[in-house]
Chain A
């Protein structure tokens, strides 16, 4: 039963990927101007022949359906084309950047989940108390703060004023550390961008955990547990929290596209060499193959991630049946 469900979901993922290829391809081509006009503008000698040559080189002079057919059949073979600007394979560029983004995401998610669930539990212990209000206000603040600005404030305080941590990059340039020293260097660099990204999710996790725990505390099975004489701590951890975490799994699935797509803003502020900065550079340069590649790769990863969260959900909650 489960296998059949997973197979059906995988087929759906492929269909979604096809839809993403078609939609993004035409969406991007609808726009006026292309890489040739941008390059001509940069080079300073924008004469007709130059632009025409560029278009011919990139195959942009062919009719749209022909372009699409060429692109789609290449994608079907796992080839996402060549970047206009860097003249490298798009797959190679994305694979080079993806680990950096995933590393940043993993750090942020762990911090956010641990911190958020803890804060949510504290708040739910006594709804309406000072601690509860503090958590609520804090999470409202993190919701309202512009993420890029929060990142800049982090740099201002911890890198400029206190000089505790490096302000940007993923490792110290030119240091050529190896082994453990390199890991330590990366660990230092990840703290500021990682915390900036984490605080937003932390606020959501705290709110979700709080609401879910307060709802759960009213349920019969919790009353039964209390009646059995189990300590309040055990009730909270074993009975309430375990059930309250379920919505968090769903929420994590919903956030996946933000994460896999890379946080453009945080990566930009901290010059983090991930998918987000890649997307930003590609937008500026009209590097369509790279943009399309990012859309397709994220769509596939997000669908896969959602499938995993669905399975995780059914494992965590035996009442849920897949299908």
Chain B
């Protein structure tokens, strides 16, 4: 574990990414404590520039404090990014492991299914899913998980396929272990590094996807997210740059930090892969 941490923090980008990520988590968690009045409360005239009295980042089209909006937006981004990835990884592991371990018909079906996802424009499919389930936090998370799990399943399947005939698996079988136990206690721990690497990159892209959905008006109408802030200020972009620039920068910094963390994890977990 110490070795792992040392390898991870040996990369400056990973240190930067981790620090920024921790800061964003802190902001997201403390937003309701610091800004108890909530992101929708109106605090002054609309479109005041950053630096106006009491408004560090200015106000938006409706005269709401941009700082509060940005802080609350972090909650949605992180929540959607992490929960949708966890769901996708869960589905991906279950199906990928079954396909890789048993092979045969299950495997064939799964591979055809992932191919379906590869030839269908996945963002269009996602829009259809979310719009038809009614846009909400839950439908966003479920939708993203449903279009991204095949990525995980492919990786898991590949790992299981190569691990299932190894000696330690044979040994477990000889000992009379049941399949489920072999899959979860013997093979899965050995297949974890690539799964972690794939899923760490998925959190960032899920955040991007959530913001894109919200930007298209397919986000939860009762929540303020970075994407919906940009959507709401589309008409004001020409006169008030901060209303669109700041939420966009927040998304970019968050995703960049997560990708740096992902890169660091990848590198620390696969020392053989080092250049």
Residues of A bordering B, CB below 8 Å: 16, 19-20, 23-24, 27-28, 30-33, 127, 140-141, 143-149, 152-153, 155-156, 160, 214, 254, 256-258, 260-262, 264-265, 268, 276, 279-280, 283-284, 286, 291, 294-295, 298-299, 302-303, 306
Inter-chain CA distance A257–B253, complex, in Å, is 28
Contact across chains for B244 and A156 when beta carbons are under 8 A apart: yes
Q: Given A33-B132, A214-B275, A265-B212 in contact, is the A16-B120 Cβ separation under 8 Å?
A: no
Q: Given A144-B256, A145-B252, A279-B127 in contact, is the A20-B120 Cβ separation under 8 Å?
A: yes
Inter-chain CA distance A141–B13, complex, in Å, is 12
Inter-chain CA distance A303–B116, complex, in Å, is 10
B29 contacts which chain A residues (CB < 8 A)? none
A279 contacts which chain B residues (CB < 8 A)? 121, 124, 127
Inter-chain CA distance A30–B124, complex, in Å, is 17
A23 contacts which chain B residues (CB < 8 A)? 116
Q: Given A145-B252, A146-B251, A257-B122 in contact, is the A268-B259 Cβ separation under 8 Å?
A: no
Residues of B bordering A, CB below 8 Å: 13, 112, 115-116, 118-125, 127-128, 131-133, 204, 208, 211-212, 215-216, 227, 230, 234, 237-238, 241, 244-245, 247-248, 251-253, 255-256, 259-260, 275
Contact across chains for B118 and A261 when beta carbons are under 8 A apart: no
B230 contacts which chain A residues (CB < 8 A)? 148-149, 152
Contact across chains for A148 and B128 when beta carbons are under 8 A apart: no
Q: Given A28-B132, A156-B244 in contact, is the A261-B275 Cβ separation under 8 Å?
A: no
Contact across chains for A156 and B128 when beta carbons are under 8 A apart: no
B247 contacts which chain A residues (CB < 8 A)? 149
Contact across chains for A283 and B131 when beta carbons are under 8 A apart: yes
B122 contacts which chain A residues (CB < 8 A)? 257-258
Q: Given A146-B248, A160-B238, A279-B127 in contact, is the A19-B208 Cβ separation under 8 Å?
A: no
The interface centre, meaning the residue of B122, B216, B247 with most chain A CB atoms within 10 A of its CB, is B216
| 20 A-B pairs whose Cβ atoms sit less than 8 Å apart in the complex | A16-B115, A141-B256, A143-B259, A144-B208, A145-B251, A145-B255, A146-B211, A148-B212, A149-B215, A152-B244, A156-B237, A160-B237, A262-B121, A264-B216, A265-B216, A268-B216, A280-B127, A280-B216, A283-B127, A299-B120
The interface centre, meaning the residue of B131, B133, B253 with most chain A CB atoms within 10 A of its CB, is B131
CB closest residue in chain A, given B210: A146
Contact across chains for A144 and B237 when beta carbons are under 8 A apart: no
Q: Given A261-B121, A284-B131, A295-B124 in contact, is the A20-B208 Cβ separation under 8 Å?
A: no
Q: How far in angstroms is the closest Cβ of chain B from A275?
A: 8
Inter-chain CA distance A257–B120, complex, in Å, is 6
Inter-chain CA distance A256–B245, complex, in Å, is 30
Chain A binding surface, main DSSP class: helix
Q: Nearest 9 A-B pairs (CB), nearest first? A: A261-B121, A31-B132, A149-B248, A144-B256, A144-B255, A302-B119, A279-B124, A283-B127, A299-B119
Inter-chain CA distance A212–B124, complex, in Å, is 32
Q: How far in angstroms is the closest Cβ of chain B from A69?
A: 22
Inter-chain CA distance A149–B248, complex, in Å, is 6
Contact across chains for B259 and A147 when beta carbons are under 8 A apart: no
Q: Given A144-B204, A264-B216 in contact, is the A291-B119 Cβ separation under 8 Å?
A: no
Contact across chains for B124 and A294 when beta carbons are under 8 A apart: yes
Q: How far in angstroms is the closest Cβ of chain B from A206?
A: 15
Q: How far in angstroms is the closest Cβ of chain B from A60?
A: 15
Inter-chain CA distance A268–B118, complex, in Å, is 23
Inter-chain CA distance A20–B211, complex, in Å, is 28
CB closest residue in chain A, given B121: A261
Q: How far in angstroms is the closest Cβ of chain B from A138?
A: 12
Inter-chain CA distance A171–B45, complex, in Å, is 38
Contact across chains for B248 and A257 when beta carbons are under 8 A apart: no
Contact across chains for B248 and A264 when beta carbons are under 8 A apart: no
Contact across chains for B252 and A31 when beta carbons are under 8 A apart: no
B245 contacts which chain A residues (CB < 8 A)? 153, 156
Beyond the given pairs A143-B259, A302-B118, 5 more chain A to chain B contacts, judged by CB atoms under 8 angstroms and listed by A's residue number, are A33-B132, A127-B275, A144-B204, A156-B237, A291-B124
B116 contacts which chain A residues (CB < 8 A)? 16, 19-20, 23
Q: How far in angstroms is the closest Cβ of chain A from B154?
A: 12
Q: Given A160-B238, A298-B120 in contact, is the A291-B128 Cβ separation under 8 Å?
A: yes
CB closest residue in chain B, given A13: B119
Q: How far in angstroms is the closest Cβ of chain B from A273?
A: 16
Inter-chain CA distance A280–B234, complex, in Å, is 17
A299 contacts which chain B residues (CB < 8 A)? 119-120
Inter-chain CA distance A317–B216, complex, in Å, is 43
The interface centre, meaning the residue of A148, A256, A260, A261 with most chain B CB atoms within 10 A of its CB, is A148
Q: How far in angstroms is the closest Cβ of chain A from B60?
A: 15
The interface centre, meaning the residue of B119, B120, B211 with most chain A CB atoms within 10 A of its CB, is B119
The interface centre, meaning the residue of B124, B212, B245, B247 with most chain A CB atoms within 10 A of its CB, is B124
Contact across chains for A146 and B118 when beta carbons are under 8 A apart: no
CB closest residue in chain A, given B257: A144
